[in-house]
Each structure stands twice: as C-alpha cells, then as structure tokens.
A and B are shown apart, each in its own frame.
Chain A
Amino acid sequence: MPVQDRTHEFIACVDSIISRSSIPSRRDAKQKLLQNGKSTTKSEFSRMASGIGKEISSTNLKLGKLSQLAKRKTLFDDRPVEISELTFIIKQDLASLNKQIATLQTYVKQKKSQGAKSEDGKQVDEHNKNVVTLLQSKLADTSVAFQEVLEVRTQNMKESKDRTEQFMYTATSAASQPPSNSVLFNPRGDPMGDGSLSRFDSKRPQNGDMLALNLEAAEEGSGSQNGGAFMQMQMVEQQDSYIQSRSTAIESIESTIAELGQIFMQLANMVAEQGETVQRIDADSHDIAANVSGAQRELLKYYASISSNRWLMLKIFGVLIVCFLVFILVS
C-alpha cells in the first residue's frame, strides 16, 4: 500500500464536523490535536507500531526471497546453506516481532488501566487495540506463508532425493540423510518444532491475550531438538528401515514382474515374425507340390504316348525291315 498523506482531508473533515457539532468547549483541545497531527510528536504507541510494521514488511521481503529459492527444482544447484540461513533469519525475525507485539499489547493494557475515562482516551484505546490486532494478523499471515514455503522446500528436497536415487541407485543412502536436514525435514506438518501444530490455525487472534505464535518455545525446542531430533531420527530410522526394506523388497518384486512382462512381449513379437517366415515356407511348398505333380502328369502322358505309339512303331519298324531286306536282296 503506498503511503499517502491525507492529512488535509482529515483536517477538512474534522472542520466540517466541528462546524456541524455542538461541543464548542473542546474546540481548542481538538484544534491543538489537529495541529499536532502534522507535527512529528507521535505517541510512544505509534512509534512502536510503525517500527513493528516496518519489520513485518522486511520479513515479508525475505520470505519472498526464500520462497523463490525453495521453488527451484534443480538437482545440483541447490543452495542449502543460503536457504537454511535465510530460514534461520526469518525465524528469528518472527520471534522478535512476536515479542515486540507482546510488549505493545502490555503497553496498551497498561495505558487502558492507567488512563483516561474520557472519550478521547477510549477512542485512542480502541485505535490502539485495532492496530495491535492488525499487526498480529499480519504476523500470522507471514508465518503461515513461511510454513508453506518450508513445506514446499521439503517436498522439493524429497523429489530431488528420489531423482538422485534414480540416477545413482543408492537406496540405502535414504536412511542416512534425515539427520542433516532435521531443521527443515521434520515430520510432516510440524516444521517449527515439537507438537505445536495448532498454532498456525489461529490466524486471527480473537482476544488480544492469545499470542498468535508461540515461537519462543519453538526457538528453544528447535535448538535442543537438533540434538534430540537426532536420537529421534535414529529410532525412527530403525522403525523406518524395517518398513523401508519391506517396501523396497516389494518394489523389486514389482519391477521384476514388469520385466517379465516385457520379456513376454518380446517373445510374442519374435514368434509373430517367425510365423511370417513359416507362411513363406508354406507357400513355397505348395508351389513345389504343384510343380512336381505337373511334371508327373507330363511324364505319364509321355509314357502313355510312347506306349500307345507302339503300334505305329511296329509299323515303322516293319517298313524299315522291309527296306533292309530290299537292300540286302538288291546287293
């Protein structure tokens, strides 16, 4: 939201209201207030509130950068150091913001208990309360976004781990990785530490007493958790390793079955190709049978013609013998 200076409009509004209203005794006080509106003597409260607002916006910027980094899905150019540093910084910022809002709240309460029963005081009180509520809700939004970014980050890390497994085929390295990522790779849905899942559901703190984020506990928790998480991780690993080994065994069975399927397909292909060859052989043998039977027919005909020719032959032979006899008788 760009910052606009609408003090003129404010002054004009108030002027018009004064001219309409009938509380002349307060004019001077109000005019003083109005004049003070332009000057830089802000109350303690507004100073603190503006400081908090600035910090919230800077934290939001950092969160935007972190989310960009977390979205990157490259295998090799992952920058875990930067990401974890940024995460740490953002966590600290959120914690300090929380504390500041808490002090602001106590300040507001103090003022209320001390203060003025006048109408002025009441309005200021309400305004303060509203400002505190607004800051708290902004902080809650920031932390929700932070949590989402962390989840995205863990998801991407899991995916990249799967991909490296595919390429490098070291299934056993999966069990040994969690401890190094225990800050980020905590059990699902619990990115800020032990058991405080419900915090992020309270986006809008109803009464000012309930601080939206119990980050202090989370800070200590995650500090000691890195030691405790390691042990937890080991025990979880033990459980996990049995279950994981079961799942890997079953996965290997599944892949074996898939391979078998492929082998069967290959077999079927080869047999189909060979079937075509068999058909060619079949056609050829039909041709052979036809040819041979035709040749046999011809030969039979020939034989028949030769045997039926015998009488002609006899006659021809008879003529020849007669010629021979004639020749011999002549000579």
Chain B
Amino acid sequence: MVKIYSISVLLAPPSQTSTVLASASDLSQFSFYQKGSVGEFLAFFARTVVERTPQGQRQSVQENNYTAHVYNRGGAEQLAAVIITDQEYPVRPAFSLLTKILDEFIAKVPQSSFNNPSSISFPDVQVYVSKYQDPTQADTIMRVQQELDETKIILHKTIESVLERGEKLENLVERSNALSAHSKVFYKTAKKQNDCCVVM
C-alpha cells in the first residue's frame, strides 16, 4: 500500500546540524498513543539522513518499513527536502515531488526567515502529503502513463467489437445474397404467370 508518512523541508548547511523549516505528516494509521513517538522518530530520521547527504545529491535510505528519499539541494539557500514513505512508493515520483516542493518553498518563503523556523508557514506541505498519497494521480508522468494504458485497453476492446461487427456484416451479406436470388425467382414466376395462362 503506497503511503507517504511525512514530508519535511530542512535548512542543511554543510557539516552542521540541520533545522526543520517546514514539515507535515500523515500519521492517521497509527494509534493515538503511537503518534507522538512515531512523529519524533520521523523527524529524527529526516534530520539524520539530511545531515549525511552531500549537497546536490539525492539518496534513498531504508529503515525497517520506512524509506526516506532525500534531496539535498544546496545552492544559495542550502535547503534539503525529505520524504518518508513506505517501501512501495515509487522512487522517481518521490524525487520529482521533492524538487517541486523545494522550488515552491524557495519561491514562496523569503530567505530572511530561514533563521526563524517557527515563523515560516508553508501549508502546501500538508496539501502535498494528502495529494500525493496516490502517486499515480499526482505525478504527471505517471498519470499520463496510466491514462495511456487505459486508452490502450479501451482500444483493444474496440477492435474486438469491430471484429464482431465484421462477422455480422458477413452474415448479412450472405443473407442478402440469398434473398436477392429468391426475389428474382419470385419475379420470374410472377411474370410467367402472366404469359403462360391465356387459357381462360
């Protein structure tokens, strides 16, 4: 069951501790008492992995059932984004999601507030968590692929029905041939009736 557990954006200066700038998580499947500890674990996992990823690199780390995909973008803002999912989440859309989130974050949040994590409000993260639970719908490439596959199935069915139509048409042709022959005979007989019996 593909699922995202959390997405976070972190400030990751190289070889220093990282700070979480924005994060959102979906812990609905855990019981109430577990939510707290799981949330803490996810945050810790995210920070550790980001600190160990060099700038400009993407990495995927697996830990029990949780897989973290990290993209440390570096650059002027020294940002990194982490997405923690289960093991079945497809890798490539995860990374494109990370890139997209980082771009939006940089566009929307001014750099001055990077030192003040609590002042940053980036609600899109939560939106993304809920939207991307089903990667096939949210990721463009996967959606296109899916629609194309559906179209292909529909086309296959269409071709089958066209074949059936062909059969029926053949049937019709035969029948109309026979009918035509019979009607000819009918006509000739009727004609003969007229000429043959001048008897009475």
By a beta-carbon cutoff of 8 Å, the part of chain A in contact with chain B is 235, 238-239, 242, 245-246, 249-250, 252-253, 256-257, 259-260, 263-264, 266-267, 270-271, 273-274, 277-278, 280-281, 284-285, 287-288, 291-292, 294-296, 298-299, 301-302, 305, 309, 313, 316
Contacts and interface: CB of A to CB of B under 8 A. Distances in A.
Contact of A302 (B183, B187, B193): B193
B166 A298 contact: no
A292 B170 contact: no
Contacts of B183: 287-288, 291-292, 295
A305 B92 CA distance: 90
Contact of A288 (B96, B162, B176): B176
B2 interface: no
B148 interface: yes
Nearest to A273: B166
Interface of B: 57-59, 91-92, 95-96, 141-142, 144-145, 148-149, 151-152, 155-156, 158-159, 162-163, 165-166, 169-170, 172-173, 176-177, 179-180, 183-184, 186-187, 189-191, 193-194, 200
A281 B171 CA distance: 10
A269 B108 CA distance: 54
Given A242-B95, A267-B162, A292-B183, A281 B176 contact: yes
Given A298-B191, A298-B193, A277 B159 contact: no
B92 A242 contact: yes
Q: Is the interface of B mostly helix, strand, loop or mixed?
A: helix
Contact of B92 (A249, A257, A271): A249
Interface-central residue, A266, A284, A294, by most chain B CB under 10 Å: A284
Given A267-B162, A292-B187, A253 B180 contact: no
A274 B96 contact: no
27 contacts: A235-B57, A238-B57, A239-B57, A242-B95, A252-B145, A253-B144, A256-B145, A256-B148, A256-B149, A260-B152, A260-B155, A263-B159, A266-B159, A267-B155, A270-B163, A277-B166, A280-B176, A284-B179, A285-B176, A288-B176, A288-B180, A291-B180, A291-B187, A292-B187, A295-B183, A295-B187, A302-B194
Nearest to A280: B173
B76 to A, nearest CB: 20
A271 B193 CA distance: 45
B165 A253 contact: no
Nearest to A250: B141
Contact of B186 (A271, A295, A309): A295
A284 B176 contact: yes
A253 B145 contact: yes
B141 A263 contact: no
Nearest to B187: A295
Contacts of A256: 145, 148-149, 152
